[in-house]
Amino acid sequence: MPEPGAEPARYALPVIKYLGSKRALLPQIVVAIGDCLRELGLQPTHSTVLDAFSGTARVGHALKRIGCRVIANDHNAYAHALARCYVQADADDLLAPATGLVMQLNAIAGAAPQAPGASEWFARRYAHEARYIHPDNAARIARLRDEIAARDLGAELEAVMLVSLMEAADRVDSTTGLQMAYLKQWAPRALSHLNLRTPDLLPRAPAGKGMAICLNAADAVELDADVAYLDPPYNQHSYLGNYHVWETLIRWDDPEVFGIARKRIDCRERKSDFNSRRRHAPALAGLIQRVRARAIVLSFSDDGWSERTEIESLLAARGRVQSVEIDYPRYVGARIGIHNPRGESVGTVGRLRNREVIYRVVCR
C-alpha cells in the first residue's frame, strides 16, 4: 500500500475540469486524514472515511488507494457517477468488462457517429443552440449514451462507462472549464475525435468495499465513519449550473432548458445552501455540529465567504484544531479570464492564487 503523502503522480486521475477540485492538494489532504487516523490509533487499512462533498471523487480514489473504506457522497448525479466508478466499483470485478466495452464503444463511435435513432436533442441543444461540443462529437456522444442505456450493465459497470464517456467529452469540449459559456471559435481540442479510455479502477480496499451515496451532505455526515472529510462549496458558484451538461449526460432525461447557456430548468430549484450567501454560514455550522465521525478534516479556501476565525471557532467546539496552509493556483477558468455566454472576454481576474487551509480535529 502506498503511504499517506506519497507523491502526486500516484494519485493521478484524468484532469476533468472542475471548480474546487482538490487535485493539487491531494497529498496534503491524505496526510491530514492519515494523521487523524494515527491519533485514533487506526491504520488506513482498518478505517472508514466519509467524503461528504465528493465532486470528481479524486479524494476518495486516493484514500481507497491507501486501503481505506470510503463512503463518497455528492448530491449531483454526475458526481455520484464519478463516485460509483472511482470509489465503489472495484477493478477485481469490472476492469476486464469495462476495458472490453470501451473498445466496443470506440468502434461504434468510429463507424457510425450519426446512427439513426440516436437522441438528436443532445447535439441540437449543446452543439448548435449552444456550442459546448463540436456537432460531430455531440452526435458520437449521443450515439454512445443511447448504447449504454440500451445495455443492461448493472449500476456499477454503467457508472464506469458513463464516466468514461463524460471524461472523453470533457477532453473535447469547447469551454473554459465551466458550462456557463463556450468559446467563440471551436477550441482546437473540440476538433479531435471523441475517444473513450478505461477509468482508473482500483482493487477493493483492504478496509472494505466503498460506497457511493447521493444525499444532502447535512444527512450524509450522520453516517458512522472514522474521519469525515468536508469540502463544501465556498461561494455562489452552483455546481449544477456549472456542470449542467454533465448532469444531463448522466441523467439522459432530455430536460427542459433555458437561456443562452441552455441550462436545465431544475437548476432553478435544485440549490445548495452552501451557494447562498445568507444560508452558507448556518449550513456550515450545522454540518460541523452534526458530524458523527470520530475526526473531521475540512478544506477551507480564502476565496470563499467564511472567515477563518468563524471556521476555527466552529471546529474548536468539536476538539483541538490543527491546520496546514497551502498557496495554490486558482481554477482553470479563473486563469483564462471571465467570458460572457458568447465566449467573449469581458473582464480579468484579480488574483491567480488562493490560500487553502486544511483543518483537522479529533473530536472529543
Ligand X SMILES: C[S@@+](CC[C@H](N)C(=O)[O-])C[C@H]1O[C@@H](n2cnc3c(N)ncnc32)[C@H](O)[C@@H]1O
Enumerate binding residues for ligand X (CB under 6 A). 18, 20-22, 53, 55-56, 58-59, 74-76, 79, 216-217, 231, 233, 239, 272, 274
Closest of 283, 289, 281 to residue 316, by C-alpha: 289
Which residue's CB is nearer to ligand X, number 53 or number 122? 53
The length of the chain is 364
Tell me the CA end-to-end span of the chain in Å, nearest whole number: 30
Which residue's CB is nearer to ligand X, number 79 or number 207? 79
Measured from each CB, the residue nearest to ligand X is: 55
- Dihedrals φ, ψ of 235, to 5°? -155, -160
Judge whether 316 and 363 are in contact, CB under 8 Å. no
Q: Name the packing angle between helices 91-111 and 135-150 (round to 10°).
A: 130
CA atoms within 13 A on the CB side of 118: 23
Query: In the complex, what is the shortest distance from the CB of residue 44 to ligand X, in angstroms, rounded to a whole number?
Result: 18
Query: In the complex, what is the shortest distance from the CB of residue 286 to ligand X, in angstroms, rounded to a whole number?
Result: 11
Which residue's CB is nearer to ligand X, number 21 or number 106? 21
Query: In the complex, what is the shortest distance from the CB of residue 221 to ligand X, in angstroms, rounded to a whole number?
Result: 10
- 281 vs 287: CA distance, rounded Å: 10
Query: In the complex, what is the shortest distance from the CB of residue 251 to ligand X, in angstroms, rounded to a whole number?
Result: 14
Which residue's CB is nearer to ligand X, number 24 or number 346? 24
Which residue's CB is nearer to ligand X, number 221 or number 295? 221
Calculated CA dihedral for residues 344, 17, 139, 115, nearest 10 degrees = 180
Which residue's CB is nearer to ligand X, number 80 or number 294? 80
Judge whether 156 and 81 are in contact, CB under 8 Å. no
CA atoms within 13 A on the CB side of 130: 26
Query: In the complex, what is the shortest distance from the CB of residue 72 to ligand X, in angstroms, rounded to a whole number?
Result: 10
Query: In the complex, what is the shortest distance from the CB of residue 190 to ligand X, in angstroms, rounded to a whole number?
Result: 23
Which residue's CB is nearer to ligand X, number 75 or number 140? 75
- 340 vs 342: CA distance, rounded Å: 5
Query: In the complex, what is the shortest distance from the CB of residue 57 to ligand X, in angstroms, rounded to a whole number?
Result: 7
Query: In the complex, what is the shortest distance from the CB of residue 215 to ligand X, in angstroms, rounded to a whole number?
Result: 7
Neighbour tally for 258: CB within 10 Å: 12
Give bridge partners of residue 345 from the DSSP assignment.
Answer: 339
Q: Quick one: DSSP state of residue 271?
A: -
Which residue's CB is nearer to ligand X, number 73 or number 175? 73
